[in-house]
Chain A
Amino acid sequence: MALRSQVVPALLEHARTSPSAPALLWRGAPVGYGALAAMTRSAAAVVAELPPGPVSVVAEKTPETVALVLGCLAAGRRVLLPAATLPVDTVSGLHDRAGCVAVLAAAADGTSNAARLTTHVVDVHAAPSDHPEPDDADEVAFLLTTSGSTGVPKIVPLTSVAVERFALWADEEFDLGPGRRVLNYAPLNFDLCLLEVWGTLRAGGCVVLADPERATDGVALLDLLVAQDVHVVQAVPLFYELLLAAVPGARVDGVDRVVVTGDAFRPDRLPALRALFPNARVDNVYGCTETNDSFSHELRPGLTEIPIGTPLPGVRALLVREDGTVLHGPGVGELLVTTPFQTPGYLDSPDRFTSHPDGADDLRYFRSGDLVRRTADGSLLLEGRTDFRVKVRGQQVDTLAVEQVLLDHSGVLEAAAVVVPDQRAGNLLHVVVRTDGSVNSLVLRKHCAERLPPAAVPSTLRVSKDPLPRTSTGKVDRKHITTTMELVI
C-alpha cells in the first residue's frame, strides 16, 4: 500500500493509548487527545453527509477548527484552507476554482468541549464539481494557496504522501512526540502548520496555539512561551523581532529548537536571538508552499551572512544560468529545487515545475525564482529575484501585481511599488501613484484592501500629481523612488 498521511490514524491511536495527554493548548486550557479525537469524529460525521468533493474550511484559529480539518481528512475530503484575511470575492473565486462542495466553519464557542463541537455548513453548492483531478494519481489531502499578491491566489494541492513524508522528517529532526510542546504562531492556512500543527499531532506532541488576537503583542508571546513550557518554536523573523523588542534582556530557557523561516533574518540580530533562547539550536529554514522546506542552516555565533543552507534529506537543487544551462561551480543562477514534499503542480494554473535541464534525472524541479550565488566553498546565498516578487512580512508579494491593482483604478495614471527595509518587519511596501486629481489615498487604500491580501496593501501610499521619475529608457525609475523613500521614512 502506498504511503499516505497518518495524521488522523495516529491521532486516534494517541487518543486510545493516552487520552488525557494534551494535544492542544489554547488560551491556557489543554485539549486532550481523547477530546480532540471525539471532536474529529463528530466533524467527520457531518462532513460525510455532504455531496462528494473538496470542502473549504474557514481557517479561524481555534481547537474546533483544528478538529474540523482533521474531521475532513478523516472523511477522505480534500481541505481547502483559504486565508481568513483574503477579500471575500477572492475566497469565493477560490471555492469555485477548487470545486468545493461546501464551506465549513467550526463553532468557536471557546469551550473545547467534544459535545459542543458544531460544524456549520456555511454554504453547499448544488452540483458536485467536475473539476479535473491533479495529474498525480496520489490522493490529495490539503489545498493550500499562495499568498495571492496578484489578487488571484494559486491553489497548491499537497498529496497525502507528501504530507506524511514531511511529518516524518519534521518529527525526526525536531522531536514532536509525546511530552514535547510546539508553538503554532502561523495562521492555520499557512504551510508552516504542516510542521507545527499537523506534524505535531501526527507525532503525539502538544501544539501550543498562539492567540491571533495577541499576535503582535510581544509580551504576551513571551509569556506564552514561558508559561506553557514550549520546546520548539518556528516563525518568521517578525515574530522574533516582536519578542526582542518587548522585554529587553528576556530569556526563554525551555526552548531547545528555534526555526527562523519565511524571510531573510538579519545576521546582526543573531546575538540577541541567541541570548533570548540560550539553550536552543537556531536554524534558518528555506522553503515555499510549493515545495515545503528545502534547505536548513544552523545559525552559529559569528555568522555575517546567512546561507540558504544544505538540502534536507531527499532534496536536490540546481543553479541554472540565464541561458538555461546548469551552473556547476561558483556563480549566480536561478535556484531549481525538487523535494519529497512538493506539490504535483498548481490546481488550475500553469505550474512552475520543469525537468532537469540536462535530462540528468526524471525529477520535477520547481523554478523558485530566487537568484542564488554559489561561493567557492559551496555555500548558497540568496541574491535576489528573477522577477518582481519580494518578501513582505514573510509573504511573497509581486510588486508589479500591486502596481497593476492600482492602475486598474480609473483615477490612477502611474504607479510604482517598491520595498524598503524595515527593522521590525523586514520589508515594507511603499507605493507612489500619480492620479488625475479625482482620488486620494483613502480611496486607493480601500481599493487595495478589497483586492489584495494584507501584506500586499502598501504601508505608505503617496499621491502625486507630478509624473513619476523615469529612467533614460523610459521605465519607471524604481531605484530612484526607493532611495527617495528611504530618505523620508
Chain B
Amino acid sequence: MDHTAVITRYIVDEFVPDIGVDELTADYDLFAGGVIDSLALLRVIDWLGTRFQLSLDDVELSPDNFRTIDDINAFIGTAGAQQ
C-alpha cells in the first residue's frame, strides 16, 4: 500500500512546516538536504511504529532505509510484511 501522502504530510509538519506538501518530492534526499538527521530519525521511527503499528524490534534501522520518502514507504511495506 502507498503511504507516500501520509509520510510527506508528517515530514513537512514536523521539519519543514512552512512549505506545501507538493514542494517535497518523494525522492528528495532528506539527510543530504538537512531535513532530518540521525537524532530526528529516532522521532520518525517512533512515529512510524505508532502510526503503522509496526513492531520495530527486529528490523534494520539503518539511515539508508529512511533517506527518502520513497525509502520510508518501502520500509513500512517490508516491516509490515514481517509481522
Taking Cβ atoms with an 8 Å cutoff, the residues of A that contact B are: 213-217, 219, 238, 393, 424-425, 440-442, 445-450, 454, 457, 459-463
A213 touches B24 (CB 8 A): no
**Out of B18, B37, B61, B62, which one reaches A441, CB within 8 Å?**
B18
- Whole-angstrom distance between the alpha carbons of A424 and B15 in the complex? 18
Asked if B5 is at the interface (CB within 8 A of a chain A CB), the reply is no
Residues of chain A within 8 A of B40, CB atoms compared: 459
CB contact between B39 and one of A393, A442, A448, A450 (< 8 Å): that residue? A393
In the complex the two chains form, what is the Cα distance from A217 to B15 in whole Å? 22
Question: Does B23 contact A445, Cβ atoms closer than 8 Å?
Answer: no
Nearest CB on B from A440, distance (A) = 5
Q: Is B80 part of the contact surface with A, judged by Cβ < 8 Å? A: no
* Interface bracket on B: 20 to 34
B57 touches A446 (CB 8 A): no
Q: How far is the CB of B21 from chain A (nearest CB, A)?
A: 11
Whether B6 is near chain A, meaning CB under 8 Å from some CB there, is no
Tell me which residues across on chain A come within 8 A of B39, comparing CB atoms. Answer: 216, 238, 393, 424-425, 459
Can you list 6 pairs linking A and B with CB atoms under 8 Å apart?
A213-B63, A216-B41, A216-B61, A441-B17, A442-B19, A459-B40
Q: How far is the CB of B79 from chain A (nearest CB, A)?
A: 14
Chain A residues near B19 (CB-CB < 8 A): 440-442
Q: Cβ of A454 and Cβ of B18 under 8 Å apart?
A: no
> Any chain A CB within 8 A of the CB of B82?
no
Q: How far is the CB of A67 from chain B (nearest CB, A)?
A: 24
Q: Are A454 and B23 in contact (CB under 8 A)?
A: no
A238 to B37, CA, bound (A): 14
**In angstroms, how far is the closest chain A Cβ from the Cβ of B44?**
11
- Whether A445 pairs with B35 at a CB distance below 8 angstroms is yes
* A463 B18 Cβ-Cβ under 8 A: yes
- Report whether A442 and B33 are in contact in the complex, using a CB–CB cutoff of 8 Å: yes
Interface of B is mostly: loop
Do residues A215 and B16 form an inter-chain contact, with CB atoms below 8 A? no
Task: Contacts A214-B61, A440-B23, A442-B23 given; indicate if A462 touches B18 (C-beta within 8 A).
Answer: yes
Decide: A424 and B42 in contact? CB cutoff 8 A.
yes
* Distance to closest chain B CB from A237 (angstroms): 13
Picked from A217, A238, A393, A461, the residue with its CB within 8 Å of the CB of B61 is A217
Interface residues of B in 30-58 (CB under 8 A from A): 31-35, 37-42, 57
With A441-B17, A441-B19 known as contacts, the answer to whether A216 contacts B33 (CB < 8 A) is no
Question: Is A441 in contact with B16, judged by CB distance below 8 angstroms?
Answer: yes
Q: Which of A219, A442, A449 contacts B32 (CB 8 A)?
A: A449
- Minimum C-beta distance from A481 to chain B (A): 17
Across-interface contacts of B63 in A (CB, < 8 A) = 213
Judging by beta carbons under 8 Å apart, are B57 and A445 in contact?
A: no
> How far is A459 from B63 in the complex, measured between Cα atoms in Å?
17
Known contacts A445-B16, A445-B34, A454-B38; 6 further A-B pairs (Cβ under 8 A): A216-B41, A238-B39, A424-B39, A440-B16, A441-B18, A449-B32
Nearest-CB residue, chain A, relative to B19:
A440
Closest to B40 in A: A459
A219 and B18 within 8 A (CB)? no
List 8 A-B pairs, minimum CB-CB distance, nearest first: A449-B34, A445-B34, A463-B18, A446-B33, A441-B16, A457-B34, A440-B19, A213-B62
- The listed residue (A217, A393, A442) touching B35 by CB distance below 8 A is A442
- Give, as a whole number of angstroms, the nearest-CB distance from A283 to chain B: 25
A459, closest chain B residue (CB): B40
CA distance A462 to B16 in the complex (A): 8
CB distance from B75 to the nearest CB of A (A): 15
B2 CB, min distance to chain A CBs, angstroms = 22
Task: List residues of chain A with CB within 8 A of the CB of B24.
Answer: 442
Query: Distance in Å from the Cβ of B25 to the closest Cβ of chain A?
Result: 10
